[in-house]
C-alpha cells in the first residue's frame, strides 16, 4: 500500500491521533511505560507488538476508556481525558470480543447502540439494517448474539463500531475468527474507510494481512514504542527470500558461484534454500543470474511479509520474542 494520504470526501474531521509520552500502570504492573503514537487520517495504521506489550492498554487510552497516568492524547484535535464525550462521538471502538448483550438479536444490539448515540427508533433500525448488510449478516438479523459463530460475532462487533459513522476507528484483532472470505471483505472495507478520510488503527498478530491493509506501522514492546515504519519502507528493506528449483544441487552450486550465502530453514523442503537480499533490485538480479546459469527455478519470493520481517528484526534487536 502506498503511504500517500488518500483523498477524503470531506465528511470527517482531520487531525487523526497524536499521543506522546503515555504511561499506565495497574497496581505494581506497568502496562505502558512510554509510548508515542500517531495515526494520520486517510491511512490505516497497524499497531504491532508481542503479547503483553501494551497494545490493548494503549487502544483503551486512545478510546477514552482508560485514563493515562502520564502523557497527552489528541483525537481529531480533542483531548479524550478532558472531553471524553466529544471523542466518543467521533470514534468507533471494536474490542477483540463482542462482550455484551448476548441475549439480544444482532439487530437489537445495533438498534440499541444507535439509540445511545441519539438516533430515534426509526433511524436506529435503518442504520442497523444498513450495517448488517454491510458486514453480510443480514440473514442473521433476528438471531441472538450468543448463537453466532466467533467470526459472525466479530462482524457484528465491527458493525457496532460503525453505528455512529466514526471519523476514527480503533480495531483490536478484527480478523480473529474470520474465514478467508470474511478476511478479504474486512481488508476491502478498511481500505475503503481510509480512502474516505477516516483514521483507521488496527492491532493484529496476522502480520501478512497487515501488509495488504496498512499504510504504516507502529511497533511496540514492553510498554514502549520502539519503531515506526511505512509499508513502503518495510518493502524496501533487506529481506529473506525463499528459492526453490527442480535440482537442489544445481541451485546451491549456482548460488555458491555467485558468492551468495544461503541457508536451509528448519521446515525447508529438499529443493529449497533461503537467502538474505538487500533490495528488490538485488533479488531481480539474482533471479536473472540463476536463470542464465541454467537453474530451473520453480519459486522465488520473499520468505515472509514485509512487516513480519521488520517485526522479527526489531524484536530480536530488543531481546524480545513472541510469548
Strands 17-26 and 70-75: antiparallel
Cα 274 to Cα 111: distance, rounded to the nearest angstrom: 53
Collect all residues with Cβ–Cβ distance below 8 Å to 16 and sequence separation of at least 6: 38, 39, 40, 41, 76, 168, 199
Phi, psi (rounded to 5 degrees) for 259: 75, 25
Q: What is the pTM of this model?
A: 0.85
**Widest CA span of the chain, in angstroms?**
74
Instruction: Name the CATH architecture for the domain at 237-317.
Output: 2-Layer Sandwich (3.30)
Q: At what angle do helices 248-257 and 280-292 cross, to 10 degrees?
A: 120
Q: 33-84 pLDDT, tens per residue? A: 999 999 999 999 999 999 899 999 999 999 999 999 999 999 999 999 999 9
Q: 137-191 pLDDT, tens per residue? A: 999 999 999 999 999 999 999 999 999 999 999 999 998 888 999 999 999 999 9
Higher pLDDT, 131 or 279: 131
Q: Looking at residue 322, what is its pLDDT?
A: 42
CATH 3.30.70 residue window(s) in the chain:
237-317
Question: What's the grid cell of residue 297?
Answer: 527455478
Does residue 45 contact residue 217 with C-beta atoms inside 8 Å?
Answer: yes
Question: What's the grid cell of residue 55?
Answer: 497494545
Cα 12 to Cα 41: distance, rounded to the nearest angstrom: 9
Task: Choose the CATH number for 17-234 among 1.10.1040.10, 3.30.365.10, 3.40.50.300, 3.40.718.10.
Answer: 3.40.50.300
Which of the four pLDDT bands, split at 50, 70 and 90, describes residue 100? low
Strands 224-230 and 91-94: unpaired
Question: Closest Cα to residue 303, out of 254, 252, 267, 270?
Answer: 267
Which of the four pLDDT bands, split at 50, 70 and 90, describes residue 232? confident
Q: Looking at residue 265, what is its pLDDT?
A: 67
Cα 206 to Cα 194: distance, rounded to the nearest angstrom: 19
Question: What's the grid cell of residue 227?
Answer: 519503531
Element (DSSP H or E) covering residue 149: none
Quickly list DSSP for 183-212.
Answer: HHHHHHHHHHHHHTT-EEEEE-S-HHHHHH
Q: Looking at residue 36, what is its pLDDT?
A: 96
Residue with cell 533490485: 281
CATH 3.40.50.300 residue window(s) in the chain:
17-234
Amino acid at each position: 500500500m502506498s503511504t500517500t494520504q488518500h483523498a477524503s470526501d470531506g465528511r470527517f474531521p482531520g487531525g487523526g491521533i497524536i499521543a506522546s509520552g503515555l504511561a499506565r500502570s495497574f497496581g505494581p504492573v506497568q502496562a505502558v511505560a512510554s509510548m508515542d503514537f500517531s495515526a494520520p487520517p486517510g491511512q490505516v495504521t497497524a499497531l504491532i507488538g508481542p503479547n503483553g506489550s501494551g497494545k490493548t492498554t494503549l487502544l483503551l487510552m486512545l478510546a477514552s476508556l482508560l485514563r493515562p497516568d502520564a502523557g497527552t492524547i489528541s483525537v481529531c484535535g480533542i483531548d479524550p481525558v478532558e472531553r471524553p464525550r466529544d471523542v466518543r462521538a467521533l470514534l468507533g471502538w471494536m474490542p477483540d470480543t463482542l462482550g455484551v448483550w448476548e441475549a439480544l438479536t444482532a439487530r437489537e444490539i445495533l438498534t440499541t447502540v444507535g439509540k445511545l448515540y441519539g438516533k430515534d427508533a426509526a433511524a436506529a433500525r435503518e442504520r442497523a439494517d444498513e450495517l448488517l448488510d454491510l458486514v453480510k449478516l443480514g440473514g442473521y438479523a433476528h438471531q441472538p448474539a450468543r448463537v453466532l459463530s466467533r467470526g459472525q460475532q466479530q462482524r457484528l462487533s465491527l458493525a457496532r463500531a460503525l453505528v455512529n459513522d466514526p471519523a476514527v476507528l480503533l480495531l483490536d484483532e478484527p480478523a480473529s475468527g474470520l474465514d478467508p472470505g470474511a478476511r478479504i471483505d474486512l481488508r476491502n472495507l478498511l481500505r475503503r474507510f481510509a480512502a474516505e478520510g477516516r483514521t483507521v488503527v488496527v492491532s493484529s498478530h496476522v502480520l501478512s494481512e497487515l501488509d495488504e491493509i496498512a499504510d504504516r506501522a507502529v511497533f511496540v514492546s514492553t510498554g514502549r514504542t520502539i519503531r515506526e515504519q511505512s509499508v513502503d519502507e518495510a518493502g524496501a528493506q533487506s529481506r529473506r527470500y525463499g528459492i526453490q528449483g527442480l535440482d537442489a544441487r544445481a541451485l546451491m552450486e549456482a548460488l555458491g558461484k555467485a558468492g551468495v550465502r544461503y541457508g536451509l530453514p528448519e521446515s525447508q523442503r529438499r529443493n529449497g534454500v533461503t537467502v538474505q537480499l538487500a533490495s528488490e533490485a538485488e533479488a531481480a538480479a539474482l533471479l536473472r543470474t540463476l536463470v542464465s546459469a541454467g537453474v530451473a527455478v520453480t519459486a522465488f519470493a520473499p520468505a515472509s511479509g514485509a512487516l513480519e520481517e521488520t517485526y522479527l528484526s526489531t524484536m530480536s534487536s530488543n531481546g524480545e520474542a513472541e510469548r
